[in-house]
Amino acid sequence: ARRLQERDANSGQPNEENASASGWNVLEVGQVHPLFTTLTNQLEKSQICGKTEEKRGLPSMDRLPGDQQSCSSTDEMRSIAPFSGGTRATTHWENKYWCQRFRPMDTVRIAAVGAGVVGLSTAVCISKLVPRCSITVISDQFTPETTSDVAAGMLIPPVYPDTPIHKQKQWFKETFDHLFAIANSAEAEDAGVLLIFRSIPTEEVPFWADVVLGFRKMTEDELKKFPQHVFGQAFTTLKCEGPAYLPWLEKRLKGSGGLILTRRVEDLWELHPSFDIVVNCSGLGSRQLAGDPKIFPVRGQVLKVQAPWVKHFIRDGSGLTYIYPGISNVTLGGTRQKGDWNLSPDAEISKGILSRCCALEPSLHGACDIREKVGLRPTRPGVRLEKELLAQGSRRLPVVHHYGHGSGGIAMHWGTALEAARLVSECAQALRTPAPKSKL
């Protein structure tokens, strides 16, 4: 009964009785079905079938659900997307000639737009915390082409003027605890997470002082290394390296049934009605997708150098000059250029960064293999983390906005992702709750 190629002897058509008994719906050649409704079934451990024949481009009826021949990898999912990697905007994404299994009626289809550390971590949290849902990450840029890949990855959060301090501390602590658990596990190297000791020549005690490990004032002997400073702080924190951590998150997402699609989204309404809820993690893209004038770029230029003898982290009080050793290189920084969209490295800025860092750590004069990197931090006065119900005529599209972390993307990502997942759960619950009927 599971094999739907069984034909009616008289008509040559699929046996409807057997098809109904097995719970499968066969689309005939020429019918159209939304791509994402089909792909969503992958998240429910359902099989996807119907690879096109090489010559004719028609459904291969000998590869039906139940044959254990489905295309299940994320790479294949990327390859079958009809507009994969393109930039053409459409209002209804569709694909022909697919066989699909009926999904449970209460399964909520969720799309996360953006594949940086915020988008991927949000998708992972949703897959774990929101019951009976499917999750698909959609972006035109993936690692190693994201801002998260350029970030130094230090868990030292910025201060958001429009966000209460207690909320910022909660986000940072949840992120620190999450990464600390990884750092003490067998996955630490694969995830690119490590504990490091560092010092900051500054006097102000930050709000996160009791979250990091061993926060204290520097001793007089320690300060002798920084003769231009009279006060300093020392503590142990975490470093999370984007080029390793993002693929680790992708692996976790795929392991929980999530999908990843390469696609440029020009308008959130493109995702309707293929998805029930959209999570906007598009960073600077929210200027267009959400019409948010508050978000702007803060350009950051850094140097990645080879200096394996540098073991400790140093950052000056302003945070503009820093030395962050990692697993494979040392990151030297940096810049904060508000409103600058230029992604090309500036040679003069690079010289200034190297000069300032050598003043803090003279041994860096011997650094080699110097590479320049530029990233644009998606900055706003406070992280936007809220629900919005978009309306267009009779259509409704619930959206959860989650962007605007600035330089704190990695330092805050897990805490804000958990909160975003809770908002998504509220939206999903609302969709499952029947609307009250009017009594006339």
Least confident range from 103-117, 157-171, 216-230: namely 216-230
Q: Classify domain 108-432 by CATH architecture.
A: 3-Layer(aba) Sandwich (3.40)
Task: Please report which confidence band the pLDDT of residue 440 belongs to, taking 50, 70 and 90 as the band edges.
Answer: low
Q: State residue 311's pLDDT score.
A: 83
Least confident range from 36-45, 276-285, 386-395: namely 36-45
Q: State residue 23's pLDDT score.
A: 38
Secondary structure of residue 257 in the 3-state scheme: coil
Local structure of residue 169 (DSSP, 8 states): H
What kind and span of H or E run contains 413? helix 409-432
Q: What is the largest CA-CA distance in the chain?
A: 94
Task: Please report which confidence band the pLDDT of residue 58 belongs to, taking 50, 70 and 90 as the band edges.
Answer: very low
Give the C-alpha separation, 15 to 4, whole Å: 7
Q: What are phi and psi of 261, to 5 degrees?
A: -125, 135
What kind and span of H or E run contains 177? helix 165-183
Q: What are phi and psi of 244, to 5 degrees?
A: -100, -40
Average pLDDT over residues 263-270: 96
Residue that wins the pLDDT comparison between 4 and 365? 365
Q: State residue 263's pLDDT score.
A: 94
What kind and span of H or E run contains 198? strand 193-200
Secondary structure of residue 336 in the 3-state scheme: coil
Average pLDDT over residues 373-379: 96
List Cβ neighbours of 210 (8 Å cut-off, separation of 6 or more): none
Task: Please report which confidence band the pLDDT of residue 219 belongs to, taking 50, 70 and 90 as the band edges.
Answer: confident
Amino acid at 136: T
Task: Please report which confidence band the pLDDT of residue 199 belongs to, taking 50, 70 and 90 as the band edges.
Answer: low
Closest C-alpha to 128, from 43, 38, 244, 189: 43
- The number of CA neighbours under 13 Å toward the Cβ of 138 is 30
Local structure of residue 331 (DSSP, 8 states): E
- The number of CA neighbours under 13 Å toward the Cβ of 160 is 29
Statement: residue 430 has pLDDT above 60 = yes
Statement: residue 80 has pLDDT above 90 = no
Closest C-alpha to 74, from 241, 287, 247, 243: 247
Q: Where are the domains of the chain?
A: 108-432
Q: State residue 127's pLDDT score.
A: 96
Average pLDDT over residues 301-314: 91
Residue that wins the pLDDT comparison between 60 and 141? 141
Least confident range from 64-78, 130-144, 369-383: namely 64-78
